Amino acid sequence: MVSEIAENQELIAQSVRDLSERLIRPNVRQWDESQYFPADLFRQLGEQGLMGMLVPEAYGGSGLGYREYVTAIVELSRVDGAVGLSMAAHNSLCTNHILLFGNEAQKEHYLPRLATGEWLGAWGLTEPNTGSDAGNMRTTAVRDGDDWVLNGAKNFITHGRSGQVAVVIARTGEPNTPHNATAFIIERNTPGFAGGKKEDKLGMRASETAELIFTDCRIPDSQRLGVVGDGFVQSLKVLDGGRISIAALSLGIAWGAYDAALAYAQERQQFGQPIANFQGISFKLADMATDVEAARLLTYQAADLKDEGKTVTKQSAMAKLFASEAAVRVANEAVQIFGGYGYIKDFPVEKFYRDAKLCTIGEGTSEIQKLVISRQILK
- Residue 260 β-bridge partners: none
Task: Write the DSSP symbol of residue 20.
Answer: I
Q: Apex CA 141: angle with CA 138 and CA 144, to 5°?
A: 145
**pLDDT digits over 109-132, tens only?**
999 999 999 999 999 999 988 877
CA distances from 244 to 66, 80, 196, 295, 364 (A): 8, 18, 28, 11, 12
Listed residue (102, 104, 19, 96) closest to 65, CA to CA? 96
Query: How far does the chain reach from its first CA to its final CA, in angstroms?
Result: 34
Q: Is 218 helix (H, G, I), strand (E, B) or coil?
A: strand
Q: How high is the pLDDT of residue 103?
A: 98
Q: Rounded to whole angstroms, how far apart are CA atoms 281 and 265?
A: 8
Region 330-340: what's the mean pLDDT? 98
Give how far Cα 373 sits from Cα of 211, 239, 251, 367, Å.
30, 14, 20, 10
* Residue tagged active-site, from 208, 211, 350, 363: 363
CA distance 55 to 109: 13
32-41, 133-142, 287-296, 297-306: the lowest-pLDDT one: 133-142
Q: Which of 343, 318, 332, 365 minimizes the C-alpha distance to 253?
A: 332
CA angle 148, 159, 295 (to 5 degrees): 115
**Confidence grade of residue 379 (pLDDT, cut at 50, 70, 90):** confident
pLDDT tens readout for residues 136-192: 899 999 999 999 999 999 999 999 999 999 999 999 999 989 999 999 999 999 999
Residues 6+ positions from 251 with CB-CB distance below 8 Å = 70, 74, 77, 292, 295, 296, 299, 323, 327
CB 123, CB 94: distance < 8 Å = yes
174 is catalytic: no
pLDDT digits (tens, 9 = 90+) for 233-279: 999 999 999 999 999 999 999 999 999 999 999 999 999 999 999 99
